[in-house]
Chain A
Amino acid sequence: MGSPPTDSAPLEPSLGALAGGDLALAGASARPGGTAWRFLKRNPTLLAGLVFLALIVLASAGASLWWTRDPQSMRPIARLRPPSLEQWFGTDHFGRDLYSRTIYGGRISLAVGAAVAVISLIIGTGIGLVSGYFRRLDAVVMRVMDGLMAIPSILLALALMALVRASLQSVIIALVIPEIPRTVRLVRASVLSLRELVMVEGARAVGAGTPRILLRYILPALVAPLIVQGTYICASAMLVEAYLSFLGAGTPPHIPSWGNIMAEGRAYVQLAFWIILFPGLFLGFTVLAVNMIGDGLRDLLKVR
């Protein structure tokens, strides 16, 4: 359903917060282990989120280690069996083992989430930096971004999927495009405030070129809010991928993502609710973890 806006509105971080964030990080790097651990302890949300996420990532990345079978192998004899000692999460209507599919499915969902976050951050930052710095470009870019934001992101993603053949790449692109405007606005707002900073004026006076100013002075201040934004984008992307798959316009059906597994289990809600139950729990759990990390980082890095 699109990334949840952070608790503050407008979304632009305040100047003081950015400065504060830098200082906090500086303080942390002075004595690595001890200070970082103390921060984490004072921030239970962040800690919990990190632990949860680490569990999920470990499980998915090392999927073959966790007593899983081939997630694609069909055993029609054993279809629609409830969870048992043999099949921990039961089987689906093709006789595929749901535990294996859920564990392997984590890879796809996490990969999609991470890819969408990274790509939209990169593109959004690029556009935002340029747009915030160059006034004339700004007007056009912001209108386009406003226009894109006016279309609800699921409809936009669905419409984009309608244009192309379903594949993992097209799903990622369809999820990236609605996320770009928000990132652009975030970056642009900070660029607007930062370009008036004394140090930037000083750099300009010394003759520093625009790219250098952008990269050396403005970008570092953006890191903290961008990381926080990235976590929210990742969480939202995982959910929207599930929605797209649920509606039949997402990841191709033979690739097991959590969304896909649930989409196939739609018809069996009353006959075999375990098909939807486990991927849903895992997805919710993972999204929760990422959201908690986002919240914790935001408090830690003092991003408004």
Chain B
Amino acid sequence: MADLSRRKFLAGTTAATAALTLGAPNVAAQKKGGTLRVMPHADLKAVDPIWTTAYITRNHGYMIYDTLFTTDASLQIKPQMVEKHTVSADHRKYSFTLRDGLKFHDGQAVTAEDCVVSLSRWGKKDALGKLLFAATETIKAVDRKTFVLELGSPFGLVLDALGKPSSNVPFIMPARVAATSENEQIKESIGSGPYRFVKDEWQPGNQVVYVRNGDYVPRNENPSGAAGGKRVFLDRVVWRHIPDAGTVYAALEAGEIDYWEAPGLDFIPRLEKNANLSVIVTDPRGNTGWLRPNHLHPPFNNKKCRQALLYMIDQDTVLQGGLGQSKYFQSCPGYFLCGDGLPYQSAAGAPAKPDFERAKQLLKEGGYDGRPVVLMDPTDYPTIHGPTLVMRELLQKGGLNVDLAAMDWGSLVTRRAKKEPPPAGWNLFVTWWISADAMTPAVNAGLSGAGDKAWFGWPTIPELDKLRSEWVRAVEPVRKKQIAEQIQLLAYDEVPYVLWGQFKQPTAFRKSVRGVLNFACAVFWNISIDA
């Protein structure tokens, strides 16, 4: 059984915000019908949430797929598709039984075999999934609604893995679709989730259309985060992609769209003043910003040069210049974030303040020869573009010869996968993750030191992976905290990546939109529109 004390520790001070839905708590009062017009944070380019970790594809996944377990608003793991599950006394054998009435959009019932194949595909891609399957001996369906997972070695995070809230989420697909190689995109988008994907009306770059899945059987519980009953009140949800933030702002105010997932922080003061709009932060834990160096090639294959980065990147400057509204950001020295509900926050090992002279000195010690350092810049992604430009100035000031490579986010995602040295490859790029993807050593992909097999940047820090395995195996919270701090100290020494700040992303929507849920990702069930 999952470690209840650990869950309680996580819940901690977020108990006050736990299981709260915003808007009408009384389900019966929510009006049925209508179309919700959403401006999502990005354009949906790929539809396979296992093939890519892109958040927009994950959101798409939440619309049309369902998961075995999921996380609620206080990050507790709750069953979703699973009716009941049992764990053997030695914690080695897990048995899961599905709920009744689960059907795919093509009418076929969801079977245990579908789950096994879907999980196997997910387990080949996802960081936590890989850890799970490395410890798994067998996983197979026992009958139509039950499957069994047998561990070969101890692994305490089985349910955490199956209920993982963010990329990659173990969505359940039909076995024939999940049989696709994990290096190819799936061709059909059939799930068992609360909405269906209307492929005929999909216009990439313009709109994505979802309609209510009338066959969906929600759990008989109140919704909380992604857990509980996923009741759908709307007829349609349309994701309209509008390239101009200024136009989106005008459209929201004019009532041409209903919901803006990620407004630029500069718009927030005006949006807050508008009496027709609500502005809330659906994920109070926030996001963490990373500057990721390429450990394969000079200069950042040298530890001293990486450490130099620590003295150049001043979080306050980057946040203020790149994002703007101080109400929604804070500097945070913790690799596992800071704030309520974040158990591994720590300031251990962080440099006291920026020091450009020290940075230049470290560069010299690291043997930096003045060669151009390629910093990739996604001009179409304001949350990253702003900080990138500010960091460029800081890096230049710190003595680096920065070559700013402007491109779009899609191209960046492609280019960051290249292991060649620049100019074809890269030296630095900027990104961010939601707290759920970085707050523990197990989920944090950037803290893996597995070299070639690690996340883009490919740090080779075997000590880091040893500590991570230790953390996974550890059981007491005190010991886990200790190890986490050791990991952080090591991170400040080896610098797998540099932190540039922690920030929250508010969401804005019209007051007539009710039932918006508090969760790390934008989800669209439980939402209704008043007349």
Contact = CB atoms under 8 A, between A and B. Distances in A.
Interface in B393-432: 393, 404-408
Chain B binding surface SS class: helix
Contact of B379 (A72, A253, A269, A271): A253
B491 to A, nearest CB: 27
Contact of B380 (A165, A166, A248): A248
Contact of A248 (B264, B266, B386, B408): B408
Contacts of A267: 244-246, 264, 266, 382
A41 B320 CA distance: 54
A248 B379 contact: yes
Size category of the binding interface on chain A:
20 to 34
A195 interface: no
Given A266-B246, A267-B246, A76 B320 contact: yes
Interface in A4-63: none
A302 interface: no
A270 interface: yes
Given A93-B386, A253-B379, A270 B264 contact: no
Interface in B367-390: 377, 379-380, 382, 385-386, 389-390
Nearest to B392: A254
B327 interface: no
Contacts of B392: 254
Given A76-B320, A252-B404, A266-B244, A271 B389 contact: no
A79 interface: yes
B9 interface: no
A268 interface: yes
A94 B321 contact: yes
Interface in A75-115: 76-77, 79-80, 93-95
Nearest to A251: B406
Interface residues on B, range: 20 to 34
A77 B317 CA distance: 9
Interface string B359-371: 0000000000000
Interface of A: 72, 74, 76-77, 79-80, 93-95, 165-166, 248, 252-254, 266-271
24 contacts: A72-B393, A74-B389, A74-B390, A74-B393, A77-B320, A79-B321, A93-B324, A94-B321, A95-B321, A166-B405, A248-B380, A252-B404, A252-B406, A253-B406, A254-B389, A266-B245, A267-B382, A268-B266, A269-B246, A269-B247, A270-B249, A270-B250, A271-B266, A271-B270
The 7 closest A-B pairs by CB, nearest first: A76-B321, A267-B245, A269-B246, A76-B320, A252-B406, A166-B406, A267-B246
Given A166-B406, A252-B406, A270-B270, 11 more contacts: A72-B393, A74-B393, A76-B317, A76-B390, A77-B320, A253-B377, A253-B389, A253-B404, A254-B389, A267-B245, A267-B266
